[in-house]
Structure 1
Amino acid sequence: MNGLSIIFAPLLPWPVIWGAAAVAGVFLVLALWRGLRGWALRALAALVLLAAIVQPSLQREETTPLSDIVLLIDDRSASQRLSDRAQQTDQAVASLQAQLDAMPNVETRRITVPDGADNAGTELGSALAEALASEPRARVAGALMVTDGQAHDAQLAPDLPAPLQLLLTGKRTDWDRRVLIETAPTFGIIGEETSIKLKIEDMGAVPSSTNGTADLTISIDGKNPKKYTVRTNRDLELPLTLEHGGQNVVQFTLAPTKGELTDRNNTATVQINGVRDRLRVLLVSGEPHAGERTWRNLLKSDAGVDLVHFTILRPPEKQDGVPVSELSLIAFPTQELFIDKIDEFDLIIFDRYGARGILPSAYFDNIKDYVERGGAILVAAGPEFATVESLFQTSLGTIMPARPTGRVMSESFLPRPTELGLRHPVTAGLKGAPKPEGEGEDKGPHWGHWLRQIELSDPTGEVVMSGAEGKPLLVLSREGKGRVALLASDQAWLWDRGYDGGGPQLELLRRIAHWEMKEPELEEEALYAEIDPGALSMRIVRRSMKDTVPPVTITLPDGSTEEVTLSETAPGRFTTRWTAPEPGLYRLRDGDLERVVAMGPASPREFEQTIASGDPLAKAVEASGGGVTRLEEGIPRIREVRAGRPSAGRGWIGITPRGASATTDIRVQPVLPAWAWLLLAGLLTLGAWLVEGRNRPTGGPTKA
């Protein structure tokens, strides 16, 4: 195809040229006013001179027509695999491709859109924008998109220069329901009722047979499921009580209903951390001593601990004649603490307490029952523990994890973790810990020495620390549903004062107290997972007092199982890293230990809205002049329509031919050479002079 046009290359700026034209016009007017007969030739001469200055040229272009480009986008996300949508998509794409191939001067660009990364959903908007950016806009004749319409980035859809035709999969009779968690607490108090707000949402053409109700099951960590029959499409507030600390995975599951599109959105999970409401600790000091303030500072520094502290300043045997009315001491409320309100305490600490008649034997029986019901006591033993006033001589002796021999070892010794203590969460990993007894001397700084220890024998619990002569220093045991800890020294305060370099006194005592209060992170046998943020991978951790652990069985969301082997990365700590194949709820099991882990959302974003609809992309379709067609009504025919005309109708859709072309050659030729312009102007000027000279009247005498 050829094109002809005139271009200019002026020798002077255009304002100067227009000024010269104005001057020529003035002279032309003057010539007319004087009646000069050669004014027309003079005007032509001026025009010729102006034309010579602007230098007109003829530009000849040779162009080649370009084909139109049609974008064919097929949605292959997870929601497109519901029902028979994949088959609809295959048939539609094949038919549209065949029609486009049969059209002359049309090229097809095929774009397949999978699931978005990191649960981003269907990214049709960005896919369309990228496809359009890679093609010349002047050649794009339209975009055909085969999808269920559920675009999660519809706001990124670009302004198209041609119609966007949306071909919807699915059926008008499709319906589905899902669980939608509206609000859920991040933390919950153990044993107290909390609530979660959720909604069971019905979507699409819901059949009347559902009666607007659904069967909902709620479970925590997959245990003790509770079933409810609830109304759909209403805000619900359901009660929930957490039974343990740490992470609680709350799962909501709808019973599958016949006819719904999928049950992948019938499950929703939320993770709630269980916390205790201000742990109540009773600290009873038998007498004032240097370590008493250490215990008090430890417990008072913990904002989650509500401390009740009594120190026995006036034992019953003290008789000094001072009237009771003149004493400024508070009577020890034994009845209230150890009978009436004992179950309100999470932990009772006896710090150098001696049985000197303050508590009747019946009270010790009640303390023993309190432990066996699930309570906890910690005995920090001083010299009195080796005498007849020892708590071991009361009914508490039956739950003590070791027996005092009666010997007090007043000598310097270095506390050490035992082989068992290196694996036990109470003592494992304490900074600066020396080697266990008999494994050689330590090099470098280590814990400081203590100066007194009560000799223990016949330990029935777990000896996690040893002291002088390798004797048990810290013994832990379980009694009934409760726990007992026995620290055979009152010298822990030396670490707090920095004696001989000090040691991890606060961390050790904190771990002992929290182990007794059954904090999940300090359980000897534990199974949990550390999820990598933003990824479908996790580190599986198995803590055990054993030398080896069996493989962990992982139950996947689809019910299949997989076994993974763990390796020991630290004493008592076995780990492995595992990548999940898809988001969902995974169950880890090792014998009686079980942990439920939510990897990503239990219901992926692809299944939040499953009913095919053109609403998300309606704005982009309307702006482009396109339309929405349902494939269940048949695959439409493709027509070519002019820009601005309707581009969709019953059984057909349109694309807009663009008529784009590419320039292959450009030739420029001056209208006249410079000398020709000058010659022409000179001839015109000469002609004007001759015309005016021939018609000039001659002078002479006039006859009378």
Structure 2
Amino acid sequence: MTGQIVFDPLLPWPVIWALGVVALLGVALALWRGLHGWPLRFLAGVVLIAALTQPSFQEEDRAPLSDIVLMIVDQSASQRLGDRVGVTQDAADTLEARLQARPETEVRRIEVGDGEGDTGTQLMTALSTAMAVEPRGRIAGVFLVSDGRLHDLDRAPNLPAPMQLLLTGREEDWDRRLIVRNAPAFAILGEPVTLTLRIEDEGAAPGVAETDLDISVDGADPQSFTVPIGQDVELPIELPHGGLNVIRFSTPEAEGELTDRNNAALVQINGVRDRLRVLLVSGEPHAGGRTWRNLLKSDSSVDLVHFTILRPPEKQDGVPVTELSLIAFPTRELFLEKIEDFDLIIFDRYKRRGILPAIYLDNVRNYVENGGAVLVAAGPDFASADSIFRSPLGEVMPAEPTARVIDEGFRPQVTELGERHPVTAGMGDPESWGRWLRQIEVDPRPEAEVVMTGIDDNPLLVLDRVGEGRVALLASDQAWLWSRGYEGGGPQLDLLRRLAHWMMKEPELEEEALWAEATGQSMRIIRRSLSDSVSTVTVTRPDGETEEVTLSEASPGRFEAVYEGPEIGLYRLEEGDEEAVIGLGPAAPKEFEQTIASGDALEPVIDTMRGGVLRLEDGVPTIRAVSAGRPAAGRGWIGITPREAFETMDIRQIPLLPAWLTLLLAAGLIIGAWLREGRR
């Protein structure tokens, strides 16, 4: 129960003060004129001015409210290192019991785990959320039971009471961390890319100068090197293949360090070709002779060497050779000495004319068997006696000509196998394509793959693998009709580009392939196959446990499944002969980037209300009540600031100058002054 005098003025305060000044001037005038009733006039003025303020005696019936202490308990991954779990739990329970034993004190205990999506420890976010629920006038203190490693310091709220940080780590803790400072998303095959690595020891480290560094590519056996600690190490790496390369760097766990979760780093780099070297050999000129040249020249990543036969040996027109060419074409250099430098050789309507000796073509055959790629775009010459099939190159051709040339309009069709093959899958509706007007009848080899057909289901596009290389035969020279828009045209550019890239072994166009696309903690497992079905994929998790994942057919030849990874790290995928590796998230999550307990990050926030940072290894501190603005932490103790909040239950007001009393006093004083001055 409390009481106080309150005012409820009838007029604005400036007006009341002005009237008071006027009343004082009147009293001063009476005093100057020598009127003996001036004291009574003064008292009458005071009564009238006081009546305008309407003073009342207010009596409140108050109920005291308890103080609220917010306790944020850090349960993130870094708090599970060493003995921090037990220390955190014991300290939180002890503090909660001591706070609840204090009179008029409530405890709000909030446990904070790992943030979603590897966002780390979100202590300030949790504190801001709790303060938004509780009335600020009742918050007497904030306790953080944590290692001090948080990742949302910018979300720190304006504190109404002291904050105390109770550190869970130990002073003798130390940890080793591997850092990759730069990791490009893409790198050129055949050229080294330089990565900068650094291994750091934090905390009370033993002072070792060197350690081992293991490097593994795509899950293969690692190579080991000795590197210095505390220095940047530049490491040149050459990617072994195109597509995604997963490189894992790791250093062995040292005795006594907190964790090995930050001793590894995953780098995923896509390998791309710098310049694709293509040799285009054009034979007899025809209407579509520039189709291949335009296609290859439109790609800035292709270096094209075009060997064109403009004047066959049998043509005797008397034109001097010096007027036909500035220099002799280096056929020997190209077909014998530097043939291995090319990624793809294309023969467009080429036939034997004695320009390229058989030894040159035999060298092309060896080039295919050793991993090269040859594409033959056949015209009527392929069915003749001078066909390139009648040369040493015929041994690697995927189909044999029957010597029949069919001059008839037809619309190319994709075979059932072609619907699953990456070269021809998903190219659109064949019924909307324009017609071609000529086809060479061929008989495919048993092991060849027919992905497109033409007249009477005769093979049109035949693919095959020979040795380490690949060959393709397009049994028509009419693909250029699509590029001219004949009868609506067709996907000529898409078809020829896919065909060229398949022959150059681009990973995204392999018929049998297994890979995964990572998004956060989940991955989409993709299996491409020419078979009607595939078996389950065996997923090996970072901890060595395996799991079987069943795939479903998303489109012809493409099987998919979404897998949620239970932890961050390197996953291995196996299905039959196909293998792949994928990294989910960083090898060292944000929670393990810095593991040594420290209050440095929180000190600026704690100092605003004169709180403190105490280590729990020295014992759980006692709790004291301190006044606002006073130091709230000391050796072995922490403080809270009682807020003395209350709830008003009832209010009563008694007027000090009711109207009748004001009238009585004012009238009496004025009459008294008049009578006194009248006698004089």
TM over 0.5, yes or no? yes
Contact 2:434–2:482 (CA under 8 A) maintained in structure 1: yes
Matched residue, 1:187: 186
CA distance in 2 between partners of 1:53 and 1:169 (Å): 64
1:247-258 alignment runs, 5 A limit: 247-258=244-255
Contact 1:287–1:312 (CA under 8 A) maintained in structure 2: yes
Q: TM-score, normalised by structure 1?
A: 0.94
Quick one: which of 455, 458, 477 aligns to 2:441?
A: 455
Residue 623 of structure 1 pairs with residue 620 of structure 2:
no
Matched residue, 1:436: none
Residue 386 of structure 1 pairs with residue 383 of structure 2:
yes
More deviation, 610-619/29-38 = 29-38
CA distance in 2 between partners of 1:589 and 1:151 (Å): 38
CA shift at 1:458, angstroms?
4.2
Can you give the 5+ residue segments of structure 1 that lack an aligned partner in the other structure? 434-444, 697-704
More deviation, 657-666/504-513 = 657-666
Matched residue, 2:134: 135
Closer, same or farther: CA 391–215 of 1 in aligned 2, 3 Å: same
1:317-332 alignment runs, 5 A limit: 317-328=314-325, 331-332=328-329
CA distance in 2 between partners of 1:199 and 1:178 (Å): 8
CA distance in 1 between partners of 2:74 and 2:324 (Å): 86
Q: Deviations over 1:360-380 (max 9, x none)?
A: 111112111111221111000
Contact 1:279–1:305 (CA under 8 A) maintained in structure 2: yes
Q: Deviations over 1:60-87 (max 9, x none)?
A: 1221211111111110001111111001
Amino acid at match of 1:627: G
Q: TM-score, normalised by structure 2?
A: 0.97
Amino acid at match of 1:232: I
Residue 550 of structure 1 pairs with residue 549 of structure 2:
no
Can you give the 5+ residue segments of structure 2 that lack an aligned partner in the other structure? none
1:8-87 alignment runs, 5 A limit: 8-87=7-86
Contact 2:609–2:629 (CA under 8 A) maintained in structure 1: no
CA distance in 2 between partners of 1:641 and 1:13 (Å): 41
Closer, same or farther: CA 425–258 of 1 in aligned 2, 3 Å: same
Matched residue, 1:346: 343
Contact 1:636–1:651 (CA under 8 A) maintained in structure 2: yes
Matched residue, 2:109: 110
CA shift at 1:329, angstroms?
6.4
Quick one: which of 591, 594, 603 aligns to 2:576?
A: 591
Matched residue, 2:492: 505
Contact 1:77–1:113 (CA under 8 A) maintained in structure 2: yes
Contact 1:159–1:623 (CA under 8 A) maintained in structure 2: no
Residue 564 of structure 1 pairs with residue 549 of structure 2:
yes
Quick one: which of 279, 282, 289 aligns to 2:276?
A: 279
CA distance in 2 between partners of 1:667 and 1:593 (Å): 86
Residue 471 of structure 1 pairs with residue 468 of structure 2:
no
CA distance in 2 between partners of 1:484 and 1:205 (Å): 63
Quick one: which of 651, 664, 670 aligns to 2:636?
A: 651
CA RMSD of aligned residues (A): 1.5
Q: Deviations over 1:625-660 (max 9, x none)?
A: 111111111111112222233322222211121212
CA distance in 2 between partners of 1:131 and 1:170 (Å): 25
CA distance in 1 between partners of 2:104 and 2:377 (Å): 92
1:101-250 alignment runs, 5 A limit: 101-208=100-207, 211-223=208-220, 225-250=222-247
Amino acid at match of 1:412: G
CA distance in 1 between partners of 2:553 and 2:673 (Å): 113
1:372-383 alignment runs, 5 A limit: 372-383=369-380
Amino acid at match of 2:432: H
CA distance in 2 between partners of 1:130 and 1:11 (Å): 44
| SS of residue paired to 1:407 | strand
CA distance in 1 between partners of 2:444 and 2:476 (Å): 17
Closer, same or farther: CA 326–605 of 1 in aligned 2, 3 Å: closer
CA distance in 1 between partners of 2:640 and 2:11 (Å): 48
CA shift at 1:233, angstroms?
1.3
How many residues align structurally?
Answer: 679
Closer, same or farther: CA 321–67 of 1 in aligned 2, 3 Å: same
Matched residue, 2:653: 668
| SS of residue paired to 1:258 | coil
Closer, same or farther: CA 693–326 of 1 in aligned 2, 3 Å: closer
Amino acid at match of 2:176: R
CA distance in 2 between partners of 1:414 and 1:109 (Å): 76
Q: Deviations over 1:320-367 (max 9, x none)?
A: 233323434653321121112212211010000011100111111211
| SS of residue paired to 1:426 | coil
CA distance in 2 between partners of 1:364 and 1:14 (Å): 111
CA distance in 2 between partners of 1:263 and 1:226 (Å): 19
CA distance in 2 between partners of 1:672 and 1:415 (Å): 108
Contact 2:501–2:509 (CA under 8 A) maintained in structure 1: yes
Contact 2:444–2:462 (CA under 8 A) maintained in structure 1: no
CA distance in 2 between partners of 1:170 and 1:15 (Å): 63
Closer, same or farther: CA 556–487 of 1 in aligned 2, 3 Å: same
CA shift at 1:15, angstroms?
2.9
Matched residue, 1:4: 3
Contact 2:444–2:459 (CA under 8 A) maintained in structure 1: no
Closer, same or farther: CA 328–220 of 1 in aligned 2, 3 Å: same
Amino acid at match of 2:439: Q
| SS of residue paired to 2:441 | strand
CA distance in 2 between partners of 1:224 and 1:410 (Å): 58
CA shift at 1:224, angstroms?
5.0
CA distance in 2 between partners of 1:87 and 1:687 (Å): 85
CA distance in 2 between partners of 1:163 and 1:323 (Å): 100
CA shift at 1:109, angstroms?
0.6
The percent identity for this pair of structures is: 63
Matched residue, 1:406: 403
Contact 1:353–1:384 (CA under 8 A) maintained in structure 2: yes
Contact 1:162–1:625 (CA under 8 A) maintained in structure 2: no
Amino acid at match of 2:220: K
CA distance in 1 between partners of 2:674 and 2:458 (Å): 138
| SS of residue paired to 1:27 | helix
Contact 1:640–1:654 (CA under 8 A) maintained in structure 2: yes
Amino acid at match of 2:67: D
Residue 481 of structure 1 pairs with residue 478 of structure 2:
no
CA distance in 1 between partners of 2:187 and 2:178 (Å): 21
